[in-house]
Amino acid sequence: MQIIICGGGEVGSAICEALYQTADIVIVDPNEHIIDEIAGQYDIQGIVGSAASVRILQEAGIATADVFIAVTNSDEKNIISAIIAQNFGVKHVYGRVRDPEYMEDIQFMQSAIGVNRIVNPEHDAAVVIDQILRYPFANSIEAFANGRMHIVGLTITPESAAANCKIMDFRNYLDGDILICAIERGDEVYIPDGDFVMQAGDRIHVLSEQNRLKILYNRLRTKQVTIKKVLIIDGGTLTHYLLEELKQRHLEITVIEQDYKTALQLAISYPEIEVIHGDGSDQRVLEEEHIKNYDAVISLNRSDHENMVTSLFAMHQGVPKVITKLDRPYLLRPLANLGLDTIITPKQLVADKIIQLTRSLKATENSAVNNLYMLIEGQLEALEFEVLSECLITEKTLRDLTLEDQTLIIGILRQDEFIVPTGDTQIKPGDFVYVVTKQHEVTDINQLVVKA
C-alpha cells in the first residue's frame, strides 16, 4: 500500500510510526530538518516542499498512491492538497480541518472535493471531554459498537471495592457483565487473568455497556462527583467545540480568556456562560475566581507547561475533576504519576483515527478491522473485527484456542446481543469481535491465533 502523508508534525510523525512497517510511505513537509529526522527514523522517503504544489505531489508519487493524508498545520493547504489528490484519482483521501467555519460545511466539503473523511482534533477532543464530564469517575472513555460499548479507564482508590480483590471475584461482584481488560501499575501494563489481584493506585480499563457505567461507578464505591460548575481555561477553537457539546447540559460554565477580542466574541456567541478576560495560568486570577468552588477545571491553554501548572494547582485546591490538554504524548506518564490522570491529546486522537481508517483498508477474506484504538500511550491496541467467513478463529471454543501472548477477546456482538465471552463461547461468521492485545500491525483476526 502506497501512502503519502503531507505534514511532518506530531500527527504526521505518529502516523508514520504506526504504519511504516506495513506500507510504502512518502512524507512531504517544507521543513528540511523535519524530513531528514522522520525519513531517517522510519527509513521512508521524504520530500521537502509544499503540500499544495502539484509538482511536489507528483514527485511524491500521487499518480499511483492508494492513500493520501493531509495533516499540515494549515486547513487551506490540507483542502487544496486533498483536491489535488482527488483529481489524480487517489481512492482514499483523509484531511485535517480545524476551523469551525469550515466544519459548518463538512458534508458539502467531503462530497465536493472528494475527501473520504475530514478529521478534526479539537472537535474529537471536545466529544471526549463531554463524555468524561458525564462520567467523572473515568479518566478516559473509548466507544465501540456505535457507542453501545465503552472501554473506560479509571483509578482504583484505597476505599474502592476493587482494591486487593482478584479479577474473578470482582467480576462476580459485578454480576459478570463487565470485563477488566487491561491494568496499568506504575510503568507496567498487564492484560490480566482471573487470578490477578488489583491494588489501590492501579489504573484499570474496563469494557462495559453504556447503561452499566453508573452501576460500575456505584459498585466501585468511588467518591460521588456531580459536575454542575465548570471552569474552562482558554477560549480557543477547542473551547468553541466544547461549548457546543455542553450547551444542552444546563451546566454553570465560566471561561477565562487572555485575549480581549476572543473573550468578547465568546461572550457574544455564548451569552449563557460567564467569560472573564484574564490570564488563566495566573494563580492569583484563579484564586480570585475561587477555583476551589468548581466541580471541574479544564485547562486548554496552547502551552503544555501552562496546562500542567494550572492543572496541578487546581488539583491541590481540591477540585474534584481536573482535565488537562497536552500536545506532547510523552508527558502523559509523568503527569499521571503526579496525580493528573485525565489527559486529552487532540493530535494523538486524530492520528489514532487516521491509523484506524488506514488499517481498516487491509480487510482480508476472513475479517476486517472496523475500529482501532490505541490504549495506554500505544502500548495496547483495542480492535473491533468483523468476522466475514469460516476461518481459524471460528473452528473451536475459546477455551480450545491458543491466542498470541498478551491477547484477550473481551466481547462479541452477535446480531443485537453483546456477549461477554467465557471459555465455552465460540465465534461465528458475522460476529463483531472485540480484542485487546499487545500485538501490533494486526490486520486479520487469525493473526492472533497461535493454535486452533
Query: At residue 25, does pLDDT exceed 90?
Result: yes
Mean of the pLDDT values across residues 189-210?
89
Residues 260 and 344 in one domain: yes
Pairing of strands 67-70, 140-144: unpaired
Q: What is the pLDDT of residue 8?
A: 94
Mean of per-residue pLDDT scores for the chain? 88
237, containing H or E segment: helix 237-246
Residue 124 belongs to some domain of the structure = no
Instruction: Give the C-alpha distances (Å, rounded to integers) separating 68 from 21, 58, 61, 225.
Output: 17, 12, 10, 44
What pLDDT is attached to residue 395? 87
Q: Which of 10-14, 322-326, 368-372 has the highest mean pLDDT?
A: 322-326
User: pLDDT-derived band of residue 244, with 50, 70 and 90 as boundaries?
Assistant: very high
The pLDDT-based confidence of 88 (bands split at 50, 70, 90) is very high
- Shared domain for 108 and 11, answered yes or no, is yes
Query: For 130-169, how does the pLDDT look when each residue is reduced to its tens digit (9 = 90+)?
Result: 999 988 888 888 877 777 788 888 888 888 888 999 998 8
Q: Let me know whether 236 and 336 are in one domain.
A: yes
Helices 121-134 and 237-246 pack at an angle, to 10 degrees, of 40
One domain for residues 196 and 286: no
- CATH code: domain of residue 305: 3.40.50.720
The answer as to whether 131 is a domain residue is: no
Residue 423 belongs to domain with CATH number: 3.30.70.1450
Residue 190's Cβ-count burial label (10 Å; 0-12, 13-18, 19+) is: middle
The pLDDT value given to residue 353: 83
Let me know if residue 130 belongs to a domain. no
Q: Residue 179 sits in which domain range? A: 137-219
Whether residue 215 has pLDDT greater than 90: no
Asked if the structure places residue 355 within a domain, the reply is no
Q: Is residue 132 part of a domain?
A: no
| pTM attached to this predicted model | 0.85
- Provide the percentage of residues in the chain whose pLDDT is more than 90: 51
Q: Write the pLDDT tens digit of every residue in 43-86.
A: 999 999 999 999 999 999 999 999 999 999 999 999 999 999 99
* Mean pLDDT lowest among 8-12, 92-96, 118-122, 217-221: 217-221
How many structural domains comprise the chain? Answer: 4
Q: Phi/psi at 173 (nearest 5 deg)? A: -60, -30
Q: 440 in the Ramachandran plot: left (φ > 0), alpha (ψ -120 to 50) or beta?
A: beta
Closest CA to 120 of 2, 251, 244: 244
Q: Which of 69, 68, 17 is nearest to 44 (CA)?
A: 17
Q: Which tens digit of pLDDT belongs to each residue from 299-308?
A: 999 899 999 9
Residues 275, 201, single domain; the answer is: no
Same structural domain for residues 111 and 147? no
Domain co-membership, 289 together with 388: no
